[in-house]
Homo-oligomer: A and B are copies of this chain.
């Protein structure tokens, strides 16, 4: 059986598959090689080092997201769509999300979402400085939301049990946390995401509205 030749693409794919199956901590060069049925050092013929490999993973995940941008739609809808497209990462590759978010890429895959967002904001009437500001604000919110969703951040609600168990919190010290424990323990990630997204979009709509109307 002439196994398909090793390649950067196959290595990256194996890494992604491994991360999603066993978590980011399980990733090692030896593990990936074993997964592919090759020797460890063979990987280095296609990837300079582990760091570059992880960049490749981030890039691959990022380039999978589908931006269906309708240039004729209202700019607020375009922003909504782009934000949701980005959030898809948390669904499609939850355990790789941290990697994607914590590596800034200056490659095409990394720049494309930025380019689209800036274009949309400029089309909404923001000047360059404002567009950059808005973009940074959205990125901060989205990144923070994704990290909560995939469980990196103080999330108050992994799907099950126990971040804040009502009985484990002293009501005298933390009355609010204690009484709101049922609410803190559950989280509809999509609803939470949409809530903040709407809030931000409405807030910045007012800014353009002051100057030139909603469109």
Taking Cβ atoms with an 8 Å cutoff, the residues of A that contact B are: 98, 101-106, 108, 110-112, 114-115, 118-119, 122, 128-129, 131-133, 136-137, 139-145, 147-148, 152-156, 163-165, 168-169, 173-177, 179-180, 183-184, 187, 192, 195-196, 199-200, 202-204
Contact call A153/B163, Cβ cutoff below 8 A: no
Which residues in B have their C-beta under 8 angstroms from that of A141?
137, 140-141, 144, 196
For residue A105, which residue of chain B has the nearest CB?
Answer: B154
Separation of A163 and B111 alpha carbons in the complex (Å):
10
Which residues in B have their C-beta under 8 angstroms from that of A184?
114, 132
For residue A207, which residue of chain B has the nearest CB?
Answer: B199
Name the contact of A199 in the complex, choosing from B122, B165, B174, B204 (C-beta under 8 A): B204
**Can you list 17 A-B pairs, Cβ within 8 angstroms, ordered by A?**
A98-B102, A101-B152, A104-B156, A114-B156, A115-B177, A118-B176, A119-B176, A128-B183, A137-B195, A137-B199, A139-B144, A139-B153, A140-B144, A140-B153, A140-B196, A143-B153, A144-B145
Contact call A140/B136, Cβ cutoff below 8 A: no
Which residues in B have their C-beta under 8 angstroms from that of A144?
139-145, 147
